[in-house]
Amino acid sequence: MASGPTTGTSTTGGPDLVETPGGAQPGPKPAGVVEREFTVAVRSQRQMILRRFLNHRLAVASLIIFIALLMGSLIGGRLWHYGFADRTGDYSQPPSLKHPMGTDDIGHDVMALVFRGAQKSVQIALLVALLSTTIGTLVGAVAGFYRGRADALLMRFVDLVLTVPSLAILAVLASVVGSKAGGWFFVAIVLAGITWAPISRVVRGVFLSLREKEYVEAARALGANDRRIIFRHLLPNALGAIIVNATIVVAVAILTETALSYLGVGVQRPDTSLGLLISDGQGAAQTRPWLFYFPGLVIILIALTVNFIGDGLRDAFDPTQTRVRA
């Protein structure tokens, strides 16, 4: 009675297939014993993640805005007929057709400054995310996989990093070395120095739970070595959590860079960043609001959109998240 030659291939297939609401199982259905109500169908992992992400309207809108901002600052900066260092000869002009965001008191076009600032800020944030995710994943993976002494040692160090008033220390550090080493690159490294710690904790937690999975035990029973288990079994399954946290770091990095620049120890002139622009513009918030509000708006937009993207990614990678949006 095996369903003959029609073997299944036809029943599966593309994304038109189905799955069921985790939410349709109300409380009373505890962790799985034999019983499983509902049936679900097939879709590749990637399709499911993408689909869940696309279902998150806010995240999708945020992604679009974020990409627009990014492209705008990269391309716009080049196309715009003022450079960020150009002096236009118009001083402290309010927004006009010629200067859509106005000019500052020494004649810089604010739009050009914002383009440049956003570009720098995002550049820093992405580099920070890359660095801190790499370090954090490495530390967390080693701690979570090997446990015991390595774990205790690494995690105490992480605690230390988390407990010191990092911003103050960074400010000191940046003011001592920062101006010499100069440039956004150094700021990024400094920021990565504090943002990796929470990531390592998350990754450790994920690794701790994943290493107890039966498929890891199965791999061990087959004779797999540690490297294989980490790279074939643990990392791919931890990827969701890692990506989500990377997006959070992006938002944190942008805000922290702003704070550093505001304190005057971030990006150094003549280059600029959104934080620097705000710190310059704060005194003028009452008299020449455009100097303050335009860069501020862009910061808020970036931080918000990145956070929402992170939200969407978290939902997309988490199969227990609501699938019903009725």
Partner 1 sequence: MSRPLTSATADAHGGTAAPAAATAVGHEAGGDAVLRVTDLTVDFPTDDGVVHAVRGVSYALSPREVLGIVGESGSGKSVTSLAIIGLLPKTARITGSVRFRGEELIGLPDKDMRKVRGEQIAMIFQDPMTSLNPVYPIGWQIAEGIRAHHRDVSRAAARSRAVDLLALVGIPHPKERAANYPHEFSGGMRQRVVIALAMANDPDVIIADEPTTALDVTVQAQILETLQKAQQETSAAIVLITHDLGVVAGVADRVLVMYAGKPVELGSVDDVYYRPRMPYSIGLLGSLPRLDAVDQDRLTPIAGAPPSLINLPPGCPFSPRCPLRQGVCDDEEPALRQTDGQAHYAACHFSHTLESEDGVPEGLFSATSADFSGPIAIMPPTGAVAPTEGPQS
Partner 2 sequence: MTATAEQPASTAIGTEPVLSVRDLVKHFPITSRGVIRRKIGDIHAVCGVSFDLYPRETLGLVGESGCGKSTTGRTVLQLQPATSGSVVFQGQELTDKSSKQMRSVRRDLQIVFQDPYASLNPRMTVNDIVAEPLRIHGLHDKHSGDKMRELFRLVGLNPEHGNRYPHEFSGGQRQRIGIARALALEPKALILDEPVSALDVSIQAGVVNLLEELQDRLGLAYLFIAHDLSVVRHIADRVAVMYLGKIVELADRPELFDRPAHPYTQALMSAIPIPDPVKERERRRIVIRGDVPSPASPPSGCRFRTRCPKFANQLSEGERERCVEEEPALIERGQGHPAACHYAAVEKVL
Using the 8-state DSSP alphabet, how is residue 6 labeled?
Answer: G
Helix (H/G/I), strand (E/B), else coil: 109: strand
Beta strands in 17-168 (DSSP E): none
Work out whether 14 is an interface residue with partner 1 (CB under 8 A): no
What character string, x for contact with partner 1 (CB under 8 A) and - otherwise, covers 215-234? Answer: --------------------
Q: Which phi and psi angles does 11 have, rounded to 5°?
A: -75, -25
Work out whether 222 is an interface residue with partner 2 (CB under 8 A): yes
Binder to partner 1 among 20, 87, 107, 173 (CB under 8 A)?
20
Q: Is 238:206 a contact under the CB 8 Å cutoff?
A: yes
Q: In the range 32-91, which residues lie near partner 2 by CB under 8 A?
A: 32-34, 36, 42, 44-45
Residue 277 CA: distances (Å) to CA of 57, 116, 180: 32, 10, 21
Binder to partner 1 among 30, 148, 165, 270 (CB under 8 A)?
30
What's the longest Cα–Cα distance across the chain?
Answer: 87
As to burial, measured by CB atoms within 10 angstroms (0-12 exposed, 13-18 middle, 19+ buried), residue 290 is: buried
Q: Which stretch binds partner 1 (CB under 8 A): 65-73, 134-142, 204-212, 264-272?
A: 204-212
Tell which residue, 130, 114, 137, 163, has the closest CA to residue 272: 114
Give the DSSP H/E element, type plus range, for residue 237: helix 235-262
232 binds, among partner 1, partner 2, none (CB under 5 to 8 A by kind): partner 2
70 binds, among partner 1, partner 2, none (CB under 5 to 8 A by kind): none
Tell which residue, 25, 73, 51, 39, has the closest CA to residue 298: 73
Q: Which stretch binds partner 2 (CB under 8 A): 68-76, 113-121, 226-234, 241-249?
A: 226-234
Binder to partner 2 among 54, 213, 283, 297 (CB under 8 A)?
213
Work out whether 160 is an interface residue with partner 2 (CB under 8 A): no
Q: Tokens 């029973």, residue?
A: 221
Work out whether 243 is an interface residue with partner 2 (CB under 8 A): no
Q: Tokens 């593309």, residue?
A: 14
Binding site for partner 2 (CB under 8 A): 7-9, 12, 32-34, 36, 42, 44-45, 213-215, 217-225, 228, 232-233, 236-237
Binding site for partner 1 (CB under 8 A): 1-4, 7-9, 11-12, 16-42, 45, 48-49, 51, 55, 206, 209-210, 237-241, 317-321, 323-326
